[in-house]
Amino acid sequence: MRVLALDIGERRIGVAVSDPLGLFARPLCTVERASKADDFAAIGALVAEHAVERVVVGLPLTLRGEMGPQACQIDRYAEALAAALPVPVTLWDERYSTSEAADIIQQSHRKHRERGEIDAVAAAVILQGFLDSRTVLEENV
């Protein structure tokens, strides 16, 4: 099952996609935020283009694992997104995903980052965590 993940920021949405088997995540692109309608149309086009069966949205919980103002805002956004898409939308804890993405980019020894690259890499970190958790659950069944 192919899965799309979103790291929703104020200006950009980082996007990652899994392989067709749903085992590995890779950064795909960033979407510049506009209106919700424009955001949802762009995400819907990616869902269709990549034959996605589920969308995972990073939920920015506090370090204590609680819902703060930003998480509540993303929760409402994800709920509206779910109503606009033909596939299920799942929230996933994204704590530390941006710092992990920065480490990954730094380890690649690239001197110049493309604008928004960290957002797409953060979405891939979120997605890989989701995919890995499903694999562990399946192994324990």
Mean pLDDT to the nearest integer, 6-15: 95
Per domain, the residue ranges of the chain are 3-139
pLDDT tens sequence across 104-125: 656 665 554 565 678 898 899 9
- Domain 3-139, what fold? Nucleotidyltransferase; domain 5 (3.30.420)
d(CA 123, CA 1): 17
Identify which of 25, 20, 18, 40 has the alpha carbon closest to the alpha carbon of residue 124.
25
pLDDT (tens digit per residue) in 63-94: 888 999 999 999 999 999 999 999 999 999 98
Quick one: which of 18, 1, 12, 11 has its CA closest to 124?
18
- Cβ pair 104, 121 in contact under 8 A: yes
The pTM score is 0.85
